[in-house]
A and B are shown apart, each in its own frame.
Chain A
């Protein structure tokens, strides 16, 4: 039970870290986001 809890914890923290890394990759490397000009 304890090792299962640890595994789930590692997975969750891993997922959060991955998502942050993915954001960094997307923003700074691929620059894959839409840029719009507002009407102002």
Chain B
């Protein structure tokens, strides 16, 4: 007589299950695995149902749930038919679990579907499993005494071999994935986390099942779903939270989950009331602290990523600005060159007209011609400034170095400009206080240009009083200094900080001289620096006069 239920079974719930048969760990291992996997698969699909990775992940989760469900039913089912059905389904659900893991990993790591060759090399070996599922090569018979199928047949061994074959293929994905040069370091690390955890989880499945088959102690199989649950959790984390994926966050969160699970299990395992109270308190504390810790780690990592992102953008913007600045310099250079020739002609002809080279001109006409001559002179100076700036910035400024006496040159400049000073009602004095001969090795033309520029400025910006040019040296430091001290309009602290920058002029400069380009001091400083010197400015404030000091190395 064929029994309907397992011997000694006390069926409940529509006569389908006997919850007293299975070991307690089974419920802790299988039920949460099924629920959590279903939630994670739902979340993955909810986040992005059109994404191939999400669909493969959902398929993997579906197969895992089916497999775990059948194993669970096999454990707790009371009717013989149902138990037998669970035993018979084991080879196909296990193989599909391995195959779906492979397909998900391949799609995720290589961002494409597995090729036909790979796909069929793993799919075709499933045919014998499907064909032999109902035969005695799968489950040979049903052992009613132990209420379990007897499956030492061919198909069980074949399923183990197939599983190992897929595991090897997953390992190969890890190797080829990590060898891909285009993958970032982070993604390579992810590849190994995914491949490593999947191999561990799947190995746990077959090793525990194998031990169960060999020894008859099927309790070992309860470990499989737990490891698989951790793998699924890691996979869903990686695939849904890819942008924010970080090993540190994952580590902290896994540690917290582990701690919570450990403390949580004590509540159920220990029957002593006070232990349960303590465990509940600890569980609550661990959960709160864990949440705070993981949030702070996440925040820190996010802010660090933000900073590095901003720094990268800044670097890009800087490179772009430099390129634009270079283009602008080139444009100014070309434009200035084009302007210089006609201005020279205008100036030349205006001078010749004034000198009477083309016959006498009326007094009425001479005034506008004088204005033309003066304006073109100022324009030529401005063009020369622009050209100097573009030469300096493009690194094309040439310096012809030679030894010369700086004191003599400075004195000559003062002699030349004295008339201009007198015209403006100023006194221009020259003094020297040298302990050396005052010889320097520099570009004589550029040095003269610098001194002229500063003395010119002193004359322009001084309404009354004295301009003093003092040449002094410091033999120990091997430096020579030229101070240009005036009693002019002076500068405030703000102006002193910006006066050597391009297009910068002191705020009160326009009140006296509207023709300046704001480039003279910039050019002078750059030239002095190129010759190993510098220029500094000092003023006690508006109306208190200024002192400019040119510093150059002595050639001793």
Report A's interface with B, CB cutoff 8 A: 5, 8, 12, 15-16, 18-20, 22-24, 26-28, 31, 33-38, 40
Contacts and interface: CB of A to CB of B under 8 A. Distances in A.
A15 B134 CA distance: 13
A17 B47 CA distance: 29
A24 B85 contact: yes
12 contacts: A5-B116, A19-B92, A22-B133, A23-B89, A26-B134, A27-B81, A27-B88, A28-B85, A31-B2, A35-B141, A35-B142, A35-B144
B126 interface: yes
B130 interface: yes
A9 to B, nearest CB: 8
B130 A15 contact: yes
B312 to A, nearest CB: 42
Q: Which 7 interchain pairs have the tightest Cβ spacing?
A: A34-B141, A19-B130, A19-B133, A38-B145, A27-B85, A35-B142, A38-B143
Contacts of B327: none
A29 to B, nearest CB: 9
A20 B81 contact: no
Given A35-B2, A35-B80, 16 more contacts: A8-B120, A15-B130, A16-B92, A16-B96, A16-B126, A16-B130, A19-B131, A19-B133, A20-B92, A27-B81, A28-B81, A28-B85, A33-B84, A34-B142, A36-B142, A38-B143
B116 A35 contact: no
B3 interface: yes
B89 A40 contact: no
B139 interface: yes
Interface in B126-173: 126-127, 129-131, 133-134, 136, 139-146, 150
B123 interface: yes
A19 B145 contact: no
Interface residues of B, number: 31
A36 B144 contact: yes
B156 to A, nearest CB: 15
Interface string B371-410: 0000000000000000000000000000000000000000
B142 A15 contact: no
Contacts of A5: 116
A23 B81 contact: no
A27 B82 CA distance: 8
Contacts of A23: 85, 88-89, 133-134
Contacts of B134: 19, 22-23, 26
B131 A33 contact: no
Nearest to A4: B116
Contact of A12 (B89, B126, B143): B126
Contacts of B136: 34
A34 B136 CA distance: 9
Nearest to A40: B145
A23 B92 CA distance: 11
A15 B130 CA distance: 7
A34 B144 CA distance: 10
A28 B4 CA distance: 11
A35 B140 CA distance: 9
Residue with the greatest number of chain A CB neighbours at <10 A, chosen from B88, B92, B126: B88
B95 to A, nearest CB: 9
Given A19-B92, A40-B146, A27 B116 contact: no
A38 B142 CA distance: 9
Contacts of B140: 34
A3 B96 CA distance: 23
Contacts of B129: 19
A23 B93 CA distance: 13
Nearest to B127: A15
Contacts of B2: 31, 35
Contacts of A12: 123-124, 126-127
A37 B80 CA distance: 13
B84 A27 contact: yes
Contacts of A33: 84, 139, 141-142
Contact of B146 (A18, A28, A38): A38
Contacts of A22: 133-134
A32 B92 CA distance: 20
Contact of B141 (A18, A27, A36): A36
B210 to A, nearest CB: 21
A28 B472 CA distance: 114
